[in-house]
Structure 1
Amino acid sequence: MFKKIAADALGLSDIGTIISPGDFDKTDADDYVLHEDGEKIYFLIKTKADEYCFTNLALIHVDGENAISSKRTLKRYPYSQHKISNVILETAGKIDLDVEIKFNISTIAFDIDVKKEQIEQLKDLYKALMRISEIAAENEKYIGMASQGLDKAVSVLQNSRIHDEKLAETYGELTDFGFSWLKATHEQYHIKDFGDVFEKYINN
């Protein structure tokens, strides 16, 4: 019991190791990467129980019940469906042997401990996740602005004095245009692949 308390106090309970690219294929997470669709691993942290695999398309979490169990649960979080937010990097104190990176993906909170000597590599992941978070927040605003702009255009048309028959025809054309415009806006600002961000910040 005292060993466990000491381990928790020092951050030794489940400290992760950043895996080098040459060893990605030796991990469980690599088996679940969609290589056939151009998915690529950029960063991978392995603890005694879990693996956290950051690809250009998603976070793949190989979730182990505990360090001694062979049972694993695969959880996949595509960035296009799960927004990253609240990215925090905590550096080590004098007695700590680990550093921490924390973030939310949708409503799920992650808190990953990593060996203190790998802080420089973890900083790269921090920068990449921060930038992805910023891009997602910016794009969400643009999509909202586009939707509001279309709503205003429809409102103006409905309040116009165009003859009823002409109004119906024009409204139909506007509906078709609006759908195409919003679809194009969504495709432009709803990013699925963040490979360029990882390429910029991750120094493998």
Structure 2
Amino acid sequence: MFKRAAAEMLGLSDIGSVIRREDYDKVDADDYVMHEDNERIYFLIKSKMDEYCFTNHALIHLDGTTALSKKRVLARYPYAYYPVREVLMETAGTVDLDVEIKFKLGEHPFSIDVHKKFITEIKDLYKSLLKIAEITHENNVKLTQAQQSQELASSVLGQTNKLDANLLEQFNGIRQSAFEWMTESHKQYKRKDFGAVFERYINN
């Protein structure tokens, strides 16, 4: 009940506000952060209807009709499985009260209106999301190249094995090494923790 009423205390409206770190414990999203797994909040936008909680692992989105509504829809989008794409920012015009940041997580589009007094903070978030998108894209390219290399090596060794049965044991050993190499490549290029990116660009 306290956290649902916190929107009024924080002076929130339908236009989002950037929540200060010392007030993270006043929002509902904090209850769903996996602190036990070293997950932490780096950026949080809250309006009367929604909370957008950016952690080092995922975006946690709490969707509700009003700040006092008992029903909330919780969605979690890990960056490793929902790549950040198409990051855009619309600055405020002369008479506009808000700025807008847009992006996709996988195929899920987001468009968040934030009061223009938080323009500096939103610029920091914009740069963070751009960098995460860049890193994810480059890692996906490298992972695809690693998979193609492994498939080519297996194909060549498979053809050799058909010509000489004595190479079977050697082929199986190399195949196991290739599997282990691909497992390590997946760990390396499927990045799950982007805390270092947020720490570099977000000043709070």
Q: Could you tell me the TM-score, scaled by structure 1's length?
A: 0.89
The equivalent of 1:4 in structure 2 is: none
Q: Aligned equivalents of 1:106 and 1:14: distance in 2?
A: 26
Structure 1 residue ranges (4+ consecutive) displaced by more than 4 angstroms after TM superposition: none
The equivalent of 2:16 in structure 1 is: 16
SS in 2 for 1:69: coil
> Residues 29, 170 of structure 1: CA spacing in aligned structure 2 closer, same or farther, 3 A cutoff?
same
Q: Aligned equivalents of 2:106 and 2:79: distance in 1?
A: 9
The equivalent of 1:185 in structure 2 is: 185
The equivalent of 2:95 in structure 1 is: 95
The reply on whether 1:77 has 2:77 as its aligned counterpart is yes
Give the length in aligned residue pairs. Answer: 192
List gaps (5 residues or longer) in structure 2.
Answer: 1-12
SS in 1 for 2:160: coil
List gaps (5 residues or longer) in structure 1.
Answer: 1-12
- Contact 2:42–2:54 under 8 Å retained in 1: yes
Matched residues, percent identical? Answer: 53
* AA at the equivalent of 1:96: D
Q: Could you tell me the TM-score, scaled by structure 2's length?
A: 0.89
The equivalent of 1:139 in structure 2 is: 139
Q: Report the CA distance between 1:150 and its aligned residue.
A: 1.1
Q: Could you report, residue by residue, the CA deviation over 1:115-172 in whole angstroms, capped at 9, with x for unpaired residues?
A: 0111010000000000000000000000000011111112222333775322322221
The equivalent of 2:113 in structure 1 is: 113
* AA at the equivalent of 1:195: G
Q: CA RMSD in A?
A: 1.5
Q: Aligned equivalents of 2:130 and 2:49: distance in 1?
A: 26
Residues 151-170 of structure 1 correspond to what in structure 2 (within 5 A)? 151-160=151-160, 163-170=163-170
Q: Could you report, residue by residue, the CA deviation over 1:41-85 in whole angstroms, capped at 9, with x for unpaired residues?
A: 000000110100000011000111345633111111111111110
- Contact 2:161–2:171 under 8 Å retained in 1: no
Q: Report the CA distance between 1:111 and its aligned residue.
A: 0.2
